[in-house]
Amino acid sequence: MPRMSTQAVTSPKAPAAIGPYSQAIRAGGFLFCSGQIALDPATGELVAGDVRVQTERVMQNLGAVLAAGGSGWDRVVKVTIFLTDMSDFAAVNEIYGRYFEGLTPPARATVAVRTLPRNVDVEIDCVALHD
Protein backbone atom coordinates (compact mmCIF):
# COMPACT_ATOMS: atom_id res chain seq x y z
CA MET A 1 0.00 0.00 0.00
CA PRO A 2 1.50 3.39 -0.95
CA ARG A 3 2.39 5.67 1.91
CA MET A 4 0.43 8.93 2.23
CA SER A 5 2.70 11.94 1.96
CA THR A 6 2.79 14.40 4.83
CA GLN A 7 4.07 17.94 5.04
CA ALA A 8 4.97 19.94 8.14
CA VAL A 9 3.42 23.41 8.39
CA THR A 10 4.98 26.28 10.30
CA SER A 11 4.00 29.87 10.84
CA PRO A 12 6.19 32.61 12.33
CA LYS A 13 2.91 34.16 13.51
CA ALA A 14 2.43 31.28 15.97
CA PRO A 15 4.82 30.18 18.71
CA ALA A 16 7.56 27.78 17.74
CA ALA A 17 7.03 24.21 18.90
CA ILE A 18 8.34 23.68 22.44
CA GLY A 19 9.02 19.99 21.87
CA PRO A 20 9.51 17.37 19.17
CA TYR A 21 6.36 18.13 17.17
CA SER A 22 5.18 20.28 14.26
CA GLN A 23 2.75 23.18 14.51
CA ALA A 24 0.64 21.25 12.01
CA ILE A 25 0.83 18.40 9.52
CA ARG A 26 -0.88 18.31 6.14
CA ALA A 27 -1.95 14.79 5.18
CA GLY A 28 -4.45 13.91 2.51
CA GLY A 29 -6.99 16.71 2.44
CA PHE A 30 -6.58 17.47 6.14
CA LEU A 31 -4.56 19.82 8.29
CA PHE A 32 -3.88 18.45 11.78
CA CYS A 33 -3.03 21.38 14.06
CA SER A 34 -1.14 20.71 17.27
CA GLY A 35 -2.48 22.08 20.52
CA GLN A 36 -1.79 25.75 21.08
CA ILE A 37 -1.36 27.43 24.42
CA ALA A 38 -1.22 31.13 25.26
CA LEU A 39 2.33 31.84 24.14
CA ASP A 40 3.19 35.13 22.45
CA PRO A 41 4.78 34.15 19.12
CA ALA A 42 7.16 37.12 19.19
CA THR A 43 8.63 36.40 22.63
CA GLY A 44 7.77 32.77 23.35
CA GLU A 45 6.48 33.91 26.73
CA LEU A 46 3.07 33.24 28.23
CA VAL A 47 0.60 36.08 27.89
CA ALA A 48 -0.48 37.61 31.16
CA GLY A 49 -4.15 37.42 31.99
CA ASP A 50 -7.12 35.27 32.83
CA VAL A 51 -8.58 32.39 30.84
CA ARG A 52 -10.30 34.82 28.42
CA VAL A 53 -6.97 36.46 27.54
CA GLN A 54 -5.35 33.05 27.22
CA THR A 55 -8.13 31.75 24.97
CA GLU A 56 -7.88 34.78 22.68
CA ARG A 57 -4.13 34.20 22.25
CA VAL A 58 -4.67 30.47 21.67
CA MET A 59 -7.23 31.20 18.95
CA GLN A 60 -4.92 33.76 17.31
CA ASN A 61 -2.11 31.19 17.32
CA LEU A 62 -4.35 28.50 15.82
CA GLY A 63 -5.59 30.96 13.20
CA ALA A 64 -2.00 31.66 12.13
CA VAL A 65 -1.27 27.94 11.79
CA LEU A 66 -4.49 27.37 9.85
CA ALA A 67 -3.60 30.18 7.43
CA ALA A 68 -0.05 28.85 6.96
CA GLY A 69 -1.55 25.46 6.13
CA GLY A 70 -3.88 26.82 3.46
CA SER A 71 -6.97 26.67 5.63
CA GLY A 72 -9.10 28.86 7.90
CA TRP A 73 -11.83 28.82 10.51
CA ASP A 74 -14.43 28.04 7.84
CA ARG A 75 -12.62 24.77 7.06
CA VAL A 76 -12.25 23.49 10.64
CA VAL A 77 -14.05 20.17 11.12
CA LYS A 78 -12.99 19.09 14.65
CA VAL A 79 -11.75 20.91 17.75
CA THR A 80 -10.60 19.65 21.12
CA ILE A 81 -10.45 22.04 24.07
CA PHE A 82 -8.49 21.09 27.17
CA LEU A 83 -9.32 22.96 30.39
CA THR A 84 -7.77 22.69 33.83
CA ASP A 85 -10.99 23.98 35.38
CA MET A 86 -14.43 23.28 33.90
CA SER A 87 -15.77 26.39 35.62
CA ASP A 88 -13.93 28.27 32.83
CA PHE A 89 -16.11 26.58 30.17
CA ALA A 90 -18.46 29.53 29.62
CA ALA A 91 -15.64 32.09 29.38
CA VAL A 92 -13.67 29.97 26.90
CA ASN A 93 -16.82 29.22 24.91
CA GLU A 94 -17.57 32.94 24.59
CA ILE A 95 -14.16 33.74 23.06
CA TYR A 96 -14.04 30.54 20.98
CA GLY A 97 -17.53 31.14 19.58
CA ARG A 98 -16.55 34.50 18.08
CA TYR A 99 -14.24 32.71 15.65
CA PHE A 100 -17.15 30.70 14.23
CA GLU A 101 -19.80 33.43 13.99
CA GLY A 102 -21.67 33.01 10.72
CA LEU A 103 -19.99 29.64 10.09
CA THR A 104 -21.10 26.08 10.64
CA PRO A 105 -19.41 25.26 13.93
CA PRO A 106 -17.15 22.20 13.88
CA ALA A 107 -17.53 19.04 15.92
CA ARG A 108 -15.93 19.56 19.32
CA ALA A 109 -14.93 17.91 22.56
CA THR A 110 -14.05 19.73 25.77
CA VAL A 111 -11.98 17.79 28.26
CA ALA A 112 -11.01 18.59 31.84
CA VAL A 113 -7.36 17.80 32.56
CA ARG A 114 -5.25 18.04 35.66
CA THR A 115 -2.48 20.24 34.21
CA LEU A 116 -1.32 21.63 30.88
CA PRO A 117 2.11 22.69 29.60
CA ARG A 118 3.53 25.75 31.35
CA ASN A 119 0.58 25.53 33.80
CA VAL A 120 -1.79 27.35 31.43
CA ASP A 121 -5.57 27.14 31.85
CA VAL A 122 -6.50 26.20 28.27
CA GLU A 123 -5.08 24.38 25.24
CA ILE A 124 -6.89 23.93 21.93
CA ASP A 125 -6.11 21.80 18.88
CA CYS A 126 -8.05 21.27 15.67
CA VAL A 127 -8.37 19.38 12.40
CA ALA A 128 -9.29 21.28 9.24
CA LEU A 129 -9.61 20.76 5.52
CA HIS A 130 -6.96 22.46 3.40
CA ASP A 131 -6.59 23.56 -0.20
Q: What is the pLDDT along the chain (131 residues), one digit of tens a residue?
A: 667 799 999 999 999 988 899 999 999 999 999 999 999 999 999 999 999 999 999 999 999 999 999 999 999 999 999 999 999 999 999 999 999 999 999 999 999 999 999 999 999 999 999 98
What secondary structure letter does DSSP report for 32? E
Could you give the number of structural domains in the chain?
Answer: 1
Q: What is the pTM of this model?
A: 0.95
Domain limits at 78?
6-129
- CATH at residue 14: 3.30.1330.40
> Considering the domain boundaries, does residue 1 fall inside one?
no
| Nearest alpha carbon to residue 110 among 128, 127, 89, 95 | 89
φ/ψ of 78, rounded to 5, equals -150, 135
> Considering the domain boundaries, does residue 27 fall inside one?
yes
